[in-house]
Amino acid sequence: MSFPRYPAYKDAGVAWLGAVPEHWAFKPIKHLVSCNDEVLPETTSPDTEFRYIEISDVDETQGITNTQSVVFRDAPSRARRVVRSEDIIISTVRTYLKAIARVQPILDGAVASTGFAVLRPRSEVNGPFLAYAMRTPHFLDRVVAHSVGISYPAINASDLIGLNLPLPPLAEQRAIAAFLDAATARSDTL
């Protein structure tokens, strides 16, 4: 399959990316999302029940594959980050596991481990596009490269959202995400 070429390209200034269409921008993730917006406070009723997402519940290719139903009083102390539909969760610990996923509507209001950064896309970025961009091997390699520690590598959320991503105009983001959704759906049926 071939696609039409853009009229002009520019050097991305990033070795792994090469040339990108001239009209694409590069922005730090922090300008595209809010990070860790909602947390469960200590004053939460002990009887509050919620779905809990651990790092081991996120698969590199399939996203969130499992959750546990827990009540606040029995929940691990790291069960604090409230997620909403279309948020993107990315593990900031054991980054080599590449645990990153887009939150599906059925998990709106679930709670993720504090081992995740919960990224909420702003209006100028398409959430599905952002999730795909953050799952590319090159981006994940940069996350791992910015991690510290040998046996338990971790990246600070502030360092994570300081990383740059290429950003096409919103209409192109939507088209790229729709293309990748369709290609993924086709491969899932094989």
Residue 12 located in a structural domain: no
Q: What is the Cα–Cα distance from 77 to 38, expressed in whole angstroms?
A: 15
Residue 14 located in a structural domain: no
Tell me the residue range of the domain where 98 lies: 32-188
Residue 8 located in a structural domain: no
Supply the angle between the helices 127-134 and 137-145 in degrees, to the nearest 10: 60
Domain count, the chain: 1
pLDDT for residue 41 is more than 70: yes
pLDDT digits (tens, 9 = 90+) for 53-98: 999 999 988 899 999 999 999 999 999 999 999 999 999 998 888 8
Domain CATH number, residue 111: 3.90.220.20
Distance of CA 5 to the CA centre of its chain: 28
Residue 15 located in a structural domain: no
pLDDT grade for 2, boundaries at 50, 70 and 90: low
Higher per-residue pLDDT: 19 or 109: 109
Residue 179 located in a structural domain: yes
pLDDT digits (tens, 9 = 90+) for 107-126: 999 999 999 999 999 999 99
User: What's the chain's length in residues?
Assistant: 190
19, 31, 133, 169 from 8: Cα distances, Å: 10, 25, 22, 15
The predicted structure's pLDDT at residue 80:
98
Residue 27 located in a structural domain: no
Q: What is the dihedral of CA 80, 143, 185, 85, to 10 degrees?
A: 20
Residue 16 located in a structural domain: no
Residue 182 located in a structural domain: yes
